[in-house]
Structure formats: structure tokens, C-alpha cells
């Protein structure tokens, strides 16, 4: 398999705050990678670096074999990266359908009826078709999160980056979200998913990476990672073997 | 259950189709104005068209592209001065000169944009004003164009537009009408296109827009340059009507930007209909209050403040919220329609 995304010793800091410390991550084509870590560990910053919203201080990003470190967010999206935002960023004045259409026409470069039908199809899958004419600014939080996923999919990504889209959902909604993401995976789209709702994450991903203080501290098979002492200590805040030192 | 096969996307509505017909009727009526309007009415209408053109262009720039410029008088004055320069020294026919002035206005906007696009928000606004002042001071230095006191268009050039005064006034009226139709068509077709959708997305959320593949800088740059060109074209026409130009009149921030912002804000920024309503209200106020002298400006200010407080989306915003109509169909509506097979 070939890597669709390769981060090589990526570093970024804001003054004394290090959000990425020589991070190296690879994602294989078709793979679903889960990312966990405590709040403020640098997970969203990593997405910002990958998608081009932030520029790294050092290190490189290769997407589909091409060095995109210096490329803008817009270029990376058109090359096949699409993300959802943790805090939804809808186009408030546009309808749900038009929000989707922006992604299809700009991100995926589609036109006319092709673009319209593509959007309708995805709106149907994400259960937003009935709200297609609603102004995005007046949506509920749940629907805004759905819209984030919808828009990202309308951009026809090869790599989909999901940032905490399960947070705040009911159990039933969470189950249907997991189904949706699984079916996205089956179409061959690679996924990186940051999530605090770990059971939802584990139902989808092949591999888990744990980040803390901008560093990759564990990486591997999800169950093994979750069971590891290091993760339980740092991520869950449990002092497994009774040592009183550690992260404060 | 509804599924996507039962849905179609439509853009026009009954209101917009009616508006299109009404628009054509009004346009025919306006083209035929020499048959029913007096000389003073036609002069007023011509001026109204030029203000509507400026307002629509400023609305595209500030209301859609988020480029709040207070220096569009730079391009009005530039267009006006080029009309004088190209006709007096270049020997061009005034109509051709105005066209060339538009093209050169767009060309000069390229380096200006490269400079001021480094600024954001309030700094951008101040930057545009500084550029306009630079333009004013530069043209005031050109002694062959009258320097600081300005110059008049020679009679021979005025006569080259049309032989007699009536025909000249009609021509100038029709050119103003043609210009406003052109500007409205450009604004409408642009906003209706994929790029227009991108522009609206940028206005609503820059972060999301760039993450969905929109090149913000390039889109804003294109709008700035096209707007500048058409503003210069309008400037050329304005000073063909006035027949006299001076740096203070050509680069007046009051006449070409403050009133224009007033029009767009009271009409409804970020809508095509807004500047149209705003222009009508502005001219109505001006006609009724012009005898009051300075009080007129105070009334104008009070009206602007009241509307900003009570209806921040302007008069058209009120109408749209109340009745949900759109005269220029830009939005996409998804319509649920049962498939024909079920008959």
C-alpha cells in the first residue's frame, strides 16, 4: 500500500506553546486512522497543519506523493483533502443546499446538474435533504455538525478529516453516524478522525494514534493502544501503577 | 420517504419571473424617455442611473466581496480625467475614450490591489482612501489638465458627441441607461455563477471558504479589478455630463463614496435589489429636501442612523424577511416533486 498522507517531523509552536513537536504520521490509502489525546494536545492544530490553515515551522507534508507543505488550504482541498470543523463553520447566509454546492463546485470543481445531483445525493445520505432550503445560520448544533460532514463529502475528498463530529450526539445518533462513516470508508476514502467518543471511533478505525503535548506518544492497533499503560495514564488521567509523577 | 430522485433544483420563482417582465417593460419605457420626459427629468434620471451604477458596484465590492473601500472616488476621478486627456490630447471620440478609460481603470487597479490587499478590515478601508488622495494629488499636478483648478471639455469635443444640444442630452441619457443595464447585468450574472457562489461563501466564512477550495485572494482580486474598471467607465460618463473637471470634484469622497455608501446601506447591503431601492430613496429625499440647504445632509444622516439601528439589513432586507421574495434570482431552492411515473 502507498501512503496517501505523510507528515515528516512536522513542528509548530506559538511562542512557548508547542502544538506539534516533530510529528511524523503516515496514512495509507483507504485506511481509517483515529486520533485521540487530551484537550489541548494539538489534535485540531494538526488538522490545521495538514489542511493548510496553519503553516508549519519545520517539517514536510506529502499528499498523494506530492509535497504540499507550501500549498494553500484551497489548493489542498482541490487536490482531494476535505475536513469538518470541530466548531461548525457554516456559510450562515446560504441555504443548506447552497453550502453543499459551494463544496461541490469549488472543492470538487463540478458544474451544473452534475454538481446539483451530487449534492442532493449526499444530503440524502446525511439526512439533511429535508432541510435543503433552510438557511444554515438557523440550524441546530446537530444539523450544523451534519452540514460539516455533508460539505466535506461534497468536495469529493480522497482524504476526509473529521474533527469531533460525534460530540454531543445521542446514542442513536451516534450509531447512525458510525454507519455513515463506515459506508464512506467502503467507497475507498481515507479517513482521519479525531474523537473523544472513543467507542464510536473504535467501531470504525483500523489504527489509533495518541497525541499529547504535540507529540505522538503511541500508535498502533486500537485495542492494544487503549489497553496500554501509557494511554491510560496520559489520556484517561489514571495513575495505573501508582506513580505520583506524570503530566499535571 | 423522499429521495433525491424526486428533487429538482430551481432558481427562478414567480416573483422573479414577474420582476423580469416588469424590468423589461420599465427598460422600454426608459429608453423611450425622450418621448415623455422633460429635459430636467431626463437629466435627473441620467444622474440617477450613474449613482445606481456606482452603488451596485460598491455593493458588489463591500457587500459581497467584503472589500469595504472608501476610496472608489479614485476610479471615478481617474475615469473622468482620462476622458478629458484622451479626447483633448489623444483625439479620441468621447464614447471611445470612456471605453478606454474603463480598461485603463481596470489596469491601474492591478498594482493598487497588489498594494492594498496587504491590508485587512479597517486598515484596508483607510488604505483605499489614501490611494484616492494620491490619485487626486497626482492629477492636481498635471498642469496641461488645468492643475488644481481643473479644465473644461473643449466645445469641438462636446459637439463631436452629437451636433445639437438635444441630441447630446439624449445620447448622454442613453449612455447612462446603457451603463446601468451593463453594470446590473454584470453584477447579476457574476453573482449567479460559480464564482458568485464562491464570493458569497467568502463573505459568510473565510475559514470554511478556503478549506473548501476557494482561492480568496484571487476571487477578491478579480472583483476589485472588474469593479474598478466599471467605476472608471462610470466616472467617464459622469464627467461627460458635467463637461468640467477639477481634482476636488473628480476625487470627492462625499459625492462618489459617502452618498454611495448611504444608498447601499439604506437599501440593503449584500443584495442586488438594495442599491436600486436605496438610489430611489436617496433621489426622492434629495428632490424633496434640496431647498433646505445643509439641513438636507442632517436629515440624510438621521435616516441612515435610524435604518442602521432599526433595519441593519436595509429596506430590501425588511421586505425580504417579511415576504421572502427575490427579484434577481440568485438562490437555489430544492423542490420536492413526485415523479411522473406514479400517475
pLDDT digits (tens, 9 = 90+) for A56-91: 999 999 999 999 999 999 999 999 999 999 999 999
Q: Please, are residues B105 and B124 in contact by the beta-carbon 8 Å criterion?
A: no
Q: What single-letter DSSP state applies at residue B290?
A: G
Q: Encode pLDDT of A20-58 as tens digits.
A: 999 999 999 999 999 998 888 888 999 999 999 999 999
Q: Is A134 an 8 Å CB contact of chain B?
A: no
A194 phi and psi angles, rounded to 5 deg: -90, 125
Task: Characterize the bridge pairing of strands A81-83 and A159-163.
Answer: parallel
Contact A103 B9 (CB under 8 A): no
B342 phi and psi angles, rounded to 5 deg: -75, -5
Q: Provide CB contacts within 8 A for A115, sequence distance 6+.
A: A101, A104, A105, A108
Q: Which residue of A has its CA nearest to B205?
A: A91
- Residue by residue, DSSP assigns B204-220 as H-HHHHHHTT--HHHHH
Q: Encode pLDDT of B65-84 as tens digits.
A: 989 999 999 999 999 999 99
Q: Is B330 an 8 Å CB contact of chain A?
A: no
Interface test with B, best of A98, A155, A161 (most B CBs within 10 A): A98
Of A85, A107, A132, the CB nearest to B213: A107
Q: Please, are residues A47 and A31 in contact by the beta-carbon 8 Å criterion?
A: no
Q: Above 90 in pLDDT, residue A234?
A: no
CA dist., res. B230 & res. A79, Å (int): 35
Residues in A closer than 8 angstroms to B4, CB to CB, are 117, 120-121, 123-124, 129
CA dist., res. A120 & res. A128, Å (int): 9
Q: Provide CB contacts within 8 A for A4, sequence distance 6+.
A: A27, A28, A29, A31, A63, A64, A158, A159, A190
Give the class (CATH, top level) of A1-80+157-248.
alpha beta
Contact A107 B198 (CB under 8 A): no
In chain B, the number of structural domains is 1
**Band of pLDDT at residue B339, cut at 50, 70 and 90:** low
Q: Is B1 an 8 Å CB contact of chain A?
A: no
Rounded to two decimals, what is the model's pTM? Answer: 0.87
Tell me the average pLDDT across A129-149: 91
Contact A111 B205 (CB under 8 A): no
Range of the domain at B120: 15-253
Min distance A127 CA to chain B CA atoms (Å): 10
To 10 degrees, the CA torsion angle through B291, B294, B297, B301?
A: -130
Residues in B closer than 8 angstroms to A133, CB to CB, are 333-334
Environment class of A119 (CB within 10 Å of its CB; exposed 0-12, middle 13-18, buried 19+) = buried
B324 within a domain of the structure (yes/no): no
Contact A102 B216 (CB under 8 A): no
**Band of pLDDT at residue B11, cut at 50, 70 and 90:** confident
Residues in B closer than 8 angstroms to A145, CB to CB, are none
Q: Is A83 an 8 Å CB contact of chain B?
A: yes
Q: Which residue of A has its CA nearest to B194?
A: A105
Q: Model ipTM?
A: 0.88
Q: Above 50 in pLDDT, residue A100?
A: yes
Q: Above 90 in pLDDT, residue B186?
A: yes
Tell me the average pLDDT across A4-15: 92
Of B9, B198, B331, the CB nearest to A102: B198
- So what's the pLDDT on residue B141? 92
Tell me the average pLDDT across B148-169: 88
Whole-Å CA distances, B23 to A212, B27, B184, B264: 63, 6, 12, 20
CATH 3.40.50.300 in chain A, residues? 1-80+157-248
Q: Which residues pair with A135 in a beta bridge?
A: A95
CA dist., res. A229 & res. A28, Å (int): 27
Helix ranges restricted to H, chain B: 14-31, 33-36, 39-58, 73-88, 94-116, 121-141, 155-161, 165-192, 194-204, 206-211, 216-242, 247-250, 253, 259-267, 273-289, 294-310, 314-323
Task: Characterize the bridge pairing of strands A159-163 and A190-194.
Answer: parallel
Residues in A closer than 8 angstroms to B330, CB to CB, are none
Q: Which residue of B has its CA nearest to A91?
A: B204
Contact A91 B204 (CB under 8 A): yes
Environment class of B117 (CB within 10 Å of its CB; exposed 0-12, middle 13-18, buried 19+) = middle
Angle at B196 (CA atoms; ends B191, B198), nearest 5 degrees = 160
Min distance A230 CA to chain B CA atoms (Å): 35
CA dist., res. A63 & res. B7, Å (int): 36
**Band of pLDDT at residue B340, cut at 50, 70 and 90:** low
Q: Is B200 an 8 Å CB contact of chain A?
A: yes
Q: Please, are residues A199 and A184 in contact by the beta-carbon 8 Å criterion?
A: no
Q: Using CA of residue B138, residue B142, residue B148, residue B154, what is the dihedral sign?
A: negative
To 10 degrees, the CA torsion angle through B120, B123, B126, B127?
A: -60
Q: Give SS3 for A53.
A: coil
Q: Is B322 an 8 Å CB contact of chain A?
A: no
Q: Please, are residues B60 and B220 in contact by the beta-carbon 8 Å criterion?
A: no
Q: Above 90 in pLDDT, residue B261?
A: yes
Q: Please, are residues B233 and B81 in contact by the beta-carbon 8 Å criterion?
A: no
Q: Give SS3 for B317.
A: helix
CA dist., res. A9 & res. A60, Å (int): 7
Of A52, A106, A124, the CB nearest to B198: A106
Contact A105 B197 (CB under 8 A): yes
Q: Give SS3 for A4.
A: strand
Q: Is A105 an 8 Å CB contact of chain B?
A: yes
- So what's the pLDDT on residue B133? 95
Contact A101 B332 (CB under 8 A): yes
- Residue by residue, DSSP assigns B107-158 as HHHHHHHHHHTT--HHHHHHHHHHHHHHHHHHHHH-GGGTGGG-EE--HHHH
B338 within a domain of the structure (yes/no): no
- So what's the pLDDT on residue B2? 53
Q: Please, are residues A204 and A165 in contact by the beta-carbon 8 Å criterion?
A: no
Residues in A closer than 8 angstroms to B208, CB to CB, are 85, 89-91, 151
Whole-Å CA distances, B299 to A2, B151, B186, B283, B289: 70, 33, 33, 13, 8
A219 phi and psi angles, rounded to 5 deg: -160, 125
Q: Encode pLDDT of B97-154 as tens digits.
A: 999 999 999 999 999 999 999 998 899 999 999 999 999 999 999 988 888 888 999 8
Q: Above 70 in pLDDT, residue A158?
A: yes
Distance separating the N- and C-terminal Cα atoms of chain A: 40
Q: Please, are residues A115 and A102 in contact by the beta-carbon 8 Å criterion?
A: no
B320 within a domain of the structure (yes/no): no
Whole-Å CA distances, A154 to A194, B33, B255: 20, 50, 46
CA dist., res. A25 & res. A9, Å (int): 8
Q: Is B206 an 8 Å CB contact of chain A?
A: no
B289 within a domain of the structure (yes/no): no
Q: Encode pLDDT of A113-136 as tens digits.
A: 899 999 999 999 888 999 999 999
Angle at B134 (CA atoms; ends B128, B139), nearest 5 degrees = 130
Min distance B314 CA to chain A CA atoms (Å): 15
Contact A77 B213 (CB under 8 A): yes
Q: Provide CB contacts within 8 A for A231, sequence distance 6+.
A: A36, A210, A217, A218, A225
Amino acid at each position: 500500500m502507498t501512503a496517501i498522507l505523510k507528515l515528516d517531523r512536522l513542528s509548530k509552536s506559538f511562542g512557548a506553546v508547542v502544538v506539534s513537536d516533530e510529528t511524523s504520521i503516515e496514512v495509507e490509502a483507504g485506511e481509517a486512522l483515529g486520533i485521540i489525546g487530551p484537550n489541548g494536545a494539538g489534535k485540531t492544530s494538526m488538522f490545521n497543519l495538514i489542511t493548510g490553515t496553519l503553516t508549519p515551522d519545520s517539517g514536510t507534508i506529502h499528499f498523494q506523493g506530492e509535497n504540499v507543505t507550501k500549498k494553500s488550504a484551497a489548493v489542498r482541498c482541490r487536490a482531494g483533502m476535505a475536513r469538518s470543523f470541530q466548531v461548525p463553520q457554516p456559510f450562515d447566509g446560504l441555504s443548506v443546499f447552497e453550502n453543499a454546492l459551494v463544496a461541490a463546485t469549488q472543492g470538487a470543481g463540478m458544474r451544473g446538474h452534475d454538481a446539483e445531483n451530487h449534492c442532493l445525493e449526499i444530503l440524502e445520505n446525511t439526512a439533511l435533504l429535508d432541510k435543503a432550503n433552510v438557511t444554515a445560520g438557523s440550524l441546530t448544533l446537530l444539523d450544523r455538525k451534519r452540514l460539516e460532514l455533508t460539505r466535506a463529502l461534497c468536495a469529493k475528498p480522497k482524504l476526509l478529516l473529521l474533527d469531533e463530529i460525534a460530540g454531543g450526539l445521542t446514542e442513536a445518533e451516534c450509531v447512525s453516524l458510525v454507519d455513515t462513516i463506515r459506508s464512506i470508508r467502503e467507497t475507498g476514502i481515507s479517513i482521519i478522525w479525531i474523537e473523544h467518543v472513543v467507542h464510536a471511533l473504535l467501531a470504525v478505525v483500523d489504527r489509533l494514534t495518541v497525541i499529547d503535548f504535540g507529540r505522538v506518544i503511541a500508535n498502533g492497533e486500537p485495542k492494544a493502544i487503549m489497553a496500554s499503560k501509557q494511554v491510560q495514564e496520559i489520556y484517561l488521567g489514571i495513575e495505573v501503577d501508582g506513580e505520583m509523577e506524570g503530566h499535571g | 420517504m423522499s429521495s433525491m430522485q424526486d428533487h429538482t433544483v430551481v432558481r427562478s420563482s414567480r416573483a422573479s419571473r414577474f420582476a423580469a417582465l416588469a424590468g423589461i417593460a420599465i427598460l422600454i419605457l426608459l429608453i423611450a424617455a425622450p418621448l415623455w420626459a422633460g429635459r430636467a427629468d431626463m437629466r435627473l434620471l441620467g444622474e440617477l442611473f450613474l449613482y445606481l451604477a456606482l452603488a451596485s458596484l460598491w455593493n458588489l465590492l463591500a457587500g459581497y466581496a467584503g472589500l469595504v473601500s472608501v476610496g472608489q472616488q479614485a476610479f471615478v476621478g481617474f475615469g473622468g480625467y482620462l476622458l478629458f486627456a484622451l479626447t483633448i490630447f489623444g483625439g479620441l471620440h468621447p464614447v471611445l475614450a470612456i471605453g478606454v478609460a474603463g480598461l485603463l481603470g481596470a489596469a491601474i487597479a492591478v498594482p493598487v490591489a497588489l498594494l492594498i490587499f496587504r491590508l485587512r478590515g479597517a486598515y484596508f478601508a483607510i488604505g483605499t482612501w489614501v490611494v484616492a488622495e494620491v490619485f487626486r494629488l497626482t492629477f492636481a499636478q498635471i498642469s496641461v489638465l488645468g492643475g488644481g483648478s481643473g479644465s473644461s471639455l473643449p466645445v469641438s469635443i462636446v459637439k463631436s458627441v452629437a451636433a445639437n444640444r438635444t441630441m447630446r442630452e439624449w445620447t448622454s441619457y442613453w449612455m447612462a441607461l446603457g451603463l446601468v443595464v451593463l453594470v446590473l447585468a454584470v453584477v447579476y450574472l457574476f453573482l449567479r455563477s460559480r464564482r458568485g457562489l464562491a464570493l458569497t461563501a467568502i463573505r459568510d466564512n473565510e475559514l470554511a471558504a478556503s478549506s473548501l477550495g476557494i482561492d480568496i485572494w484571487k476571487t477578491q482580486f478579480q472583483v476589485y479589478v472588474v469593479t474598478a474598471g466599471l467605476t472608471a467607465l462610470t466616472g467617464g460618463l459622469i464627467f461627460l455630463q458635467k463637461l468640467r473637471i477639477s481634482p476636488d470634484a473628480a476625487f470627492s469622497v462625499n459625492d462618489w463614496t459617502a452618498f454611495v455608501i448611504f444608498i447601499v446601506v439604506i437599501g440593503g447591503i449584500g443584495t442586488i435589489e438594495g442599491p436600486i431601492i436605496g438610489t430611489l430613496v436617496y433621489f426622492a429625499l434629495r428632490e424633496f429636501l434640496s431647498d433646505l440647504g445643509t439641513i438636507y445632509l442632517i436629515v440624510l444622516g438621521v435616516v441612515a442612523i435610524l435604518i442602521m439601528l432599526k433595519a441593519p439589513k436595509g429596506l430590501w432586507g425588511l421586505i425580504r424577511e417579511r415576504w421572502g421574495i427575490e427579484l434577481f434570482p440568485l438562490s437555489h431552492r430544492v423542490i420536492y416533486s413526485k415523479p411522473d411515473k406514479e400517475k
